[in-house]
Amino acid sequence: MSINFNYWQARIGKPLIFALCLLPFLLLSFRLLNNQLGANPIEVFTRSNGEWGLRFLLITLSITPLKNILKQSWPMQYRRMLGLFAFFYVFIHLSSYLVLDQFFDWQEIWADIIKRPYITIGMSAFVLLIPLAVTSNRYMMKRLGRNWLRLHKLVYLIAILAVVHFFLLVKADFYWPTVYAVLLGLLFTFRLRKYCSLPLGK
Amino acid sequence: MLIKKPGDIKPSEITDESVYMRRREFMQTTAGLALLPFVKTASAKTEAALKHVKNKKFSTDEKLTDHASITSYNNFYEFGTDKTSPAKYADRLTTSPWSITIDGEVAKPGKYNLEDILKPHSLEERIYRLRCVERWSMVVPWIGFSLADLIKRFEPTSKARYVQFTTLYRPSEMPGQKRSVLEWPYVEGLRIDEAMNPLTFLAVGLYGKVMPKQNGAPIRLVVPWKYGYKSIKSIVRISFVQNEPPTSWNLSAPNEYGFFSNVNPEVDHPRWSQRKERRIGEFLRRDTQMFNGYGEQVASMYRGMDLRKYY
């Protein structure tokens, strides 16, 4: 039974999830190239990829609670891929800002990084994601041993920075940043409950 | 920290617009080879044409922003905070009958039908730059008349030092007003000399036709040297007052949006630079001009004022 399940996962589950994760990027790119992102396509492309980066961070963080709730280990099989997609979307978001939005205006970009808290924070979140992406392979996991887990706890800080970044760039309407903050709060609560060893249900 | 200036070549000199346009064409045809383009769903409703003359003296000769962008990319929070919400929901707004209350320090106060307000004015087209505080800009061919001409008819008294404008409050037709993103109704204001400046315009249409609802039908203000949010839409009240009136964005975030809100590349928004802007339809950002390029007509009104303090 478990052999069949693994087979299904490797042959169908993973490619399927991979394709689904890539879909937002493909759709956004297609619409950008075909001038279907409205009057200010660069703004929509940059912002949408950023939102997908945040969504994938939260999805990645929901794997462990999901595993605990289902009492099954298979969700863990997808965690690395989802985490790398979070990095992918944040990378596209940043590239879109640097290339499409600022068009390599380094003076302006540097001024943004040091003067604008939302850019400083967003950039920090990206920089902190790099070591996580680099050490996401099996080799680095083995090499880092217990430190791997310590290092990857950075994801909590990154998620907080990402939500703060969203809050700081919004003009008056805080609806969506609040939604993400609440979701992140829920994901943290799950973990706190576990660490405080409060029984779940029983 | 020392920020070194790069060479004398500005990005705008490296790649010009025509190159960008060809680049997009290239990408479109390339993508088009593989994938069928979607059919555009933007509603192409036809508003009635307005008789008008072209006022060349007050118009820029820059390339107009296309009609579809002007009518589909709007900040009109009464219909929602997304840029696309106004075009989606403004349909339900009843713009006829419409009346405007004129009150305060004025000899002829009253509630006037829009038709009576408009009757004595002949309409003209003025092509103005519009600079949004969010760093995008457009070039819009407005149809309307000078606000000063209207003000003179109602004879404000010597106590009228400011003019306050109010947008319609009607949550049943303006779904955005059901959420308190801003305080409703939306209010804006000008100093009386700003209101009387020949550039200050009341618009009832654009592109030669009656104002689309998402752009502030049936009548809106256009103050081209100030950030877009000063140009209040769907006006129902014009009050002449002695003291500086409250303004919506100032109430919402006083450290970010001042009463004057003159376009000024030297004074940053606390969260972003105002040095550059993206003209809708263009790829590279262009430099933002002081007073949005209208300094010749308006700078004298602010002589001696510290524009960092009075932002």
Whether A34 and B35 lie within 8 Å, measured CB to CB = yes
B132: CATH? 3.90.420.10
pLDDT of residue A6: 74
CA A190 – CA A153 distance, rounded (Å): 15
Measured between beta carbons, the chain B residues lying within 8 angstroms of A172 are 77, 81, 181-182, 252-253
Whether B38 and A171 lie within 8 Å, measured CB to CB = no
Measured between beta carbons, the chain A residues lying within 8 angstroms of B215 are none
Q: Would you say residue A107 lies in a domain?
A: yes
Whether B284 and A103 lie within 8 Å, measured CB to CB = yes
CA A67 – CA A138 distance, rounded (Å): 21
Q: Would you say residue B303 lies in a domain?
A: no
List, for chain A, all residue ranges whose pLDDT scores fall below the cut of 70.
1-4, 195-202
Per-residue pLDDT at B172 exceeds 90? yes
Please tell me the number of Cα atoms within 13 Å of B264 on its side-chain side: 18
Q: How high is the ipTM of this complex?
A: 0.85
pLDDT of residue B14: 52
Which H helix or E strand runs over B194?
helix B192-196
What residue of B is the nearest CA neighbor of A117?
B271
Of the candidates A100, A106, A169, the beta carbon closest to that of B6 is on A106
- Calculate how close chain B gets to A162, using CA atoms only, in Å: 16
Q: How far is CA B250 from CA B17, B161, B187, B272, B305, in A?
A: 36, 19, 10, 17, 19
Of the candidates A39, A107, A116, the beta carbon closest to that of B280 is on A39
Size of interface A-B (CB pairs under 8 A): 80
Q: Would you say residue A9 lies in a domain?
A: yes
Q: Would you say residue B208 lies in a domain?
A: yes
Q: Into how many domains does chain A fold? A: 1
pLDDT of residue B9: 53
pLDDT of residue B10: 52
- Average pLDDT estimate for B142-150: 98
pLDDT of residue A34: 94
Residue A107 forms contact with B (CB below 8 Å): yes
Q: Is residue B223 within 8 Å of B132, Cβ to Cβ?
A: no
Q: Would you say residue B132 lies in a domain?
A: yes
Both structure tokens of A199: 């029984």
Tens of pLDDT, residues B221-263? 999 999 999 999 999 999 999 999 999 999 999 999 999 999 9
Domain that holds residue A150: 2-195
CA B172 – CA B70 distance, rounded (Å): 25
Whether A39 and B182 lie within 8 Å, measured CB to CB = no
**Radius of gyration for the alpha carbons in chain A, expressed in angstroms and rounded:** 19
pLDDT of residue A191: 87
Considering Cα of B29, then B30, then B34, then B39, what sign does the dihedral take?
Answer: negative
Q: Which of A28, A29, A33 to mutate to test the interface with B (most CBs of B within 10 A)?
A: A33
Nearest Cα neighbor of B225 from B305, B136, B298 is B298
Of the candidates A110, A118, A169, the beta carbon closest to that of B3 is on A110
Both structure tokens of A95: 């590239």
Q: Would you say residue A201 lies in a domain?
A: no
Of the candidates B38, B181, B283, the beta carbon closest to that of A172 is on B181
Both structure tokens of B212: 């689309």
Per-residue pLDDT at B270 exceeds 80? yes
Residues 6+ apart with CB under 8 A from B120: B153
In our burial notation (b when 16+ CB lie closer than 10 A, e otherwise), range B227-258 reads: bbbbbbbbbbbbbbbeeebebbbbeeeeebbb
CA B226 – CA B264 distance, rounded (Å): 9
Measured between beta carbons, the chain B residues lying within 8 angstroms of A110 are 3
Q: Would you say residue B80 lies in a domain?
A: yes
User: Residue B235, SS3?
Assistant: strand
Q: What percent of chain B has pLDDT over 90?
A: 84
Whether A104 and B280 lie within 8 Å, measured CB to CB = no
Measured between beta carbons, the chain B residues lying within 8 angstroms of A36 are 38, 40
Residue A112 forms contact with B (CB below 8 Å): yes
pLDDT of residue B30: 41
Domain that holds residue B174: 46-245
What residue of B is the nearest CA neighbor of A29?
B31
pLDDT of residue A195: 67
What DSSP line would sit under A113-129, residue for residue?
HHH-HHHHHHHHHHHHH
Tens of pLDDT, residues B23-78? 444 444 444 334 333 333 344 467 899 999 999 999 999 999 999 999 999 999 99
* Burial group, residue B311, by CB count within 10 angstroms (0-12, 13-18, 19+): buried
Q: Into how many domains does chain B fold? A: 1
The angle that helices B17-34 and A14-33 make with each other, rounded to 10 degrees, is 140
Residues 6+ apart with CB under 8 A from B6: A106, A107
Residue A105 forms contact with B (CB below 8 Å): yes
Q: Would you say residue B237 lies in a domain?
A: yes
Q: Would you say residue A202 lies in a domain?
A: no
